[in-house]
C-alpha cells in the first residue's frame, strides 16, 4: 500500500514538469539582429541569425522578420536599439549593411584609415563614448565592434555619407519565443543583458 502511495506521489510531482516541458516543445525560438523598432506599435524587425553562434553569427536571412512584442509586459526585456550594420570585415575592408529601401543587403568596400585591435568595452578609447562617429568633412565613419574588439575608422564613398548614422551601427541582438508567427510570447534583449558582446 505504501509503495502504491509513493508511486502516485511521484507521478503527481512529475506532472507539472511534464506539462512545462511539453509547452516549451510546442513553441519556437528565433534569434537575430534588430534593423527596425516601432516603439508605438510595439513591432520589432530582425534579420535572423542563421548560425546562432555568439562568436561568428550569420545575419543573412531574408526577408526580415517582424514580430509584435509580448502582450504581457513582464515577458519583455530591455527595448531594442535598431541598426543597419550586419557585418564588419576588417580583413576584406568591407562593411555589409541592410538597406531598408531595397529590403536587401549591400556590401560596401572601404579604405581603412586607422584601426585599433584588442579594445575591450572598458578601454578609455571607447568607454562612455558614442559610436559610430560620422565625420562628413573627412568622409569617414568610426565604428566600434565589441565582438571583434576593434575600433576602426573607415573612408567611405561620398554617396554613403548621407545615410542615417544608425546605418553604421549594429542593432541589438534579440531572442524571441513564439507559438504563432509574428506574435512573440517572450522577448529577450541579448545585447543589453550582456550575454553576448556586440
How far is residue 71's CA from residue 68's CA, in Å, rounded to a whole number? 8
How far is Cα 166 from Cα 161, in angstroms, rounded to an integer?
12
Q: Is the pTM of this model over 0.75?
A: yes
- Domain co-membership, 25 together with 68: yes
- Is residue 197 in some structural domain? no
148 in Cβ contact with 126 (< 8 Å): no
In a domain, 195, yes or no: no
What is the Cα–Cα distance from 83 to 145, expressed in whole angstroms? Answer: 13
Give every residue of the chain whose pLDDT is below 50, as ranges.
1-24, 195-198
Residue 194 lies in a domain: no
Q: Do 125 and 74 reside in the same domain of the chain?
A: no
In a domain, 198, yes or no: no
Residue 158 and residue 112 share a domain: yes
**Domain CATH for 44:** 2.40.50.320
User: Tens digit of pLDDT for each residue in 75-112?
Assistant: 999 999 999 999 999 999 999 999 999 999 999 999 99
**Residues 71, 98 within the same domain:** no
Examine the domain organization and report whether 77 and 98 are in the same domain. no
pLDDT score at 56: 78
Q: Is residue 20 part of a domain?
A: yes
Residue 87 lies in a domain: no
End-to-end CA distance of the chain: 59
- Residue 180 inside a domain? The answer is yes
Show the domain range for 100: 92-163
Amino acid at each position: 500500500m505504501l509503495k502504491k502511495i509513493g508511486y502516485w506521489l511521484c507521478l503527481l510531482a512529475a506532472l507539472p514538469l511534464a506539462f512545462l516541458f511539453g509547452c516549451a516543445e510546442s513553441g519556437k525560438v528565433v534569434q537575430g539582429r534588430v534593423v527596425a523598432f516601432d516603439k508605438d506599435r510595439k513591432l520589432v524587425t530582425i534579420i535572423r541569425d542563421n548560425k546562432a553562434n555568439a562568436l561568428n553569427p550569420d545575419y543573412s536571412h531574408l526577408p526580415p522578420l517582424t514580430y509584435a512584442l509580448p502582450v504581457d509586459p513582464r515577458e519583455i526585456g530591455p527595448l531594442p536599439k535598431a541598426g543597419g550594420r550586419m557585418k564588419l570585415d576588417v580583413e576584406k575592408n568591407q562593411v555589409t549593411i541592410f538597406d531598408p529601401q531595397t529590403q536587401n543587403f549591400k556590401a560596401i568596400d572601404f579604405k581603412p584609415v586607422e584601426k585599433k585591435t584588442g579594445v575591450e568595452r572598458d578601454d578609455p578609447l571607447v568607454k562612455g563614448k558614442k559610436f559610430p562617429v560620422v565625420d562628413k568633412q573627412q568622409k569617414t565613419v568610426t565604428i566600434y565592434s565589441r565582438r571583434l574588439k576593434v575600433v576602426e575608422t573607415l573612408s567611405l564613398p561620398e554617396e554613403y555619407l548621407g545615410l542615417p548614422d544608425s546605418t553604421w551601427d549594429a542593432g541589438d541582438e534579440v531572442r524571441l519565443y513564439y507559438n504563432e508567427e509574428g506574435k512573440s510570447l517572450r522577448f529577450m534583449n541579448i545585447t543589453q543583458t550582456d550575454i553576448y558582446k556586440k
